[in-house]
Structure 1
Amino acid sequence: MRGRPVRVSYQKTGQDGQARTGVISTPRGEIRTPAFMPVGTAGTVKAMMPESVRETGADILLGNTYHLMLRPGAERVARLGGLHGFMNWDRPILTDSGGFQVMSLAGLRKLTEEGVTFKSHIDGSKHELTPERSMEIQRLLGSDIVMCFDECPALPASDEAVAESMRLSMRWAARSKEAFGDRPGHALFGIQQGGVTRDLRAESAEKLVEIGFDGYAVGGLAVGEGQEAMFGVLDYAPGMLPEDKPRYLMGVGKPDDIVGAVKRGIDMMDCVLPSRSGRTGQAWTRRGQVNIKNARHMDDPRPLDEDCTCPACRNYSRAYLHHVFRSQEIISSMLLTWHNLHYYQQIMEGMRGAIAAGTFAAWEDEFHAGRAEGDIEPV
């Protein structure tokens, strides 16, 4: 730990338009921003070894409060040395609060001022999640960046419902801050809510800044509103948050979502898409998406992407990847997930370099032009 920061801090190192590059310093290592966080829902990035995830260029992983509290249990993880040791990842971990999963997965949930009671999607057992309990679970897990407990309404919803939900989340944010306490080496992020309504977003941001957090997330997007509406909110929402703190867009997304978010001032993102796509035979490349299930790849000796340096592209043909996916071999998920995560980290690296050089607009044009070309012609 010698020479490492005692507290989590953010330093912006460059800006091009609204796009920013910088470093989040933590006792467990630096996080280069813009950063994409692979999702390790239940203590694992599916189909990947932790050291392989690191090889793709990831500086930080996301763990899931809801899933880990249900199985194997936060107290058990704490007894076994915390999430870092449990899953063999010694770099930073961000844990979400559990609020989104309660909204999207849990059965028979009941929402009150105190918190949420719900039935587990695994076995139907009854649980309660409050701001205080969410902070306790994330402390037991030992995560470096902790998220406030919030309520996330599915969109579309009425302005009245979104406003009521946002104000509840702001009261929960204050309770989360109090329950979090003073924990050197760990950070607490607040979550801006307000749907796609500018006034509600402004009200939420004002309240969060008043409470005071180590970083700020833009929440409540990527929940069914569509890219155009999401970008519409991102045209103003990041600017409502402090300039000297990291800004995190939760649950995003496809490659063009990520580039568009960074263009609008976002520093951190996470999404299950690259790993989930890998398990279903979808590969993301510079020239768009490749469906390895398609018969056109059956006799193709070429790699997914001839310019990619991941193991799937260096060592295996499209024909082989097609074969192992069709044969339901585990190596298919491993190779395609590695490729997708590698590609996502290449996007982040490219954006960091372009922002630092002041060439982000040219980089973005090249990114979109490559995707517009579409996949290579069949053999």
Structure 2
Amino acid sequence: ETIAPAKRNLSGTLAGLKIVELTGNGAAAQAGLRFGDVLIAYNNHPIASEEQINAVMRLYQQQHKQTAASDTAQLAFYRGGDMKVKTVSVPLGRLGIDTREWTFAGESVENAIVDEGDYAAAQKFADDAAASGNYTPDQILQMRIVCVNNEKDGEQIRQAQVDQLYRKYPVEKLRVFSNHDLVYNKRYRAAVAMFQRYLKINPADVSTELSLATCYAEIEKYDDAEALLNKILARPKSDENAPTEFATSVLSNIQAKIYMGRHEYARAEERFAKAFKDSPDDPYTTLAFLYCAAWRDITGEKPGEFQSAYLMVSTQSDVVAEVLAYDIDELRAFVLMKEHHSSLARKIADKWRDSEDGKHNVSTLWRRFPGGSEVIDTWNALMPQQPVA
């Protein structure tokens, strides 16, 4: 990736990298950067992709080794929708962040659709961006994909949009950007339409089949998801489209989601338990394993199962202590309330009441699970001054 020339004036920069995750003890977090900040330059070199920031970071690390140049760099960024350029100093090297490509127009498109459901406004933002000449073809394509209708009653509009996209753009880019933008933004119906069309052109692409099965499961089309998984599993190992070991692992996790969606918690827990043992620091797997154990406990199917699962997670996963403690305590309090141990549940809530998490953490994780809103509602009742979602 070519390093963009340094710019003395970064005002009006229209592309960058949005921070979507930070490591608590990473350089970015230590410098005061936050979730949602948009990085626009590294030592005044504009950065619009991960390849660009990695390239410019390597350049300055090499200069430091060869010439004893400064061991710090200046990061320019936007915060909270304000396009006034801010800067922080960070040490050279890894920043401890995950990012997504950001554009000013793309943010407007996403806000219009994801936050307001205003497709007409989103389409106008995308059209204006295309006419401005300020954005690359790929950036415009990403905006067009986000505009694909995602409503339950939008099938006719959705199919017309998909037809137009597949007539105009390369199919591989459509597949990649659908994963990157539609699945990320939980626009699963739109993603289903895009993946279905791709598979008509490239049948038996396992990666896309698994993406499609995931989307089916998310919109509760469990029979369609399971039929697709069975189709993949039926291929002989000698078939060039047979699932790899990794794909089989992904497939198992999708099947677990299907079981969970059908409230077959014992079968789901068995698969999530295996996935947790394989990847004990994966947040979704950890929470799904605990959630299934909780419902088996609450319904009386297997009393004490949640406590057993909680002890297993607590002793095997560092993520629990560092990242998921607040979310797991929400679930612990829910289980205790269901089992009529309200005083113990309140003690858990009281532990968080005056903490930064308790004041500012707006949890939506439990909405990803069937019946998960009950967990959130219970926590809201225990901490009324700070609704969780």
| TM-score of the two chains, using structure 2 as the length reference | 0.35
Higher-helix-fraction structure: 2
Higher-strand-fraction structure: 1
Higher relative contact order (CA 8 A, sep 6+): 1
| TM-score of the two chains, using structure 1 as the length reference | 0.36
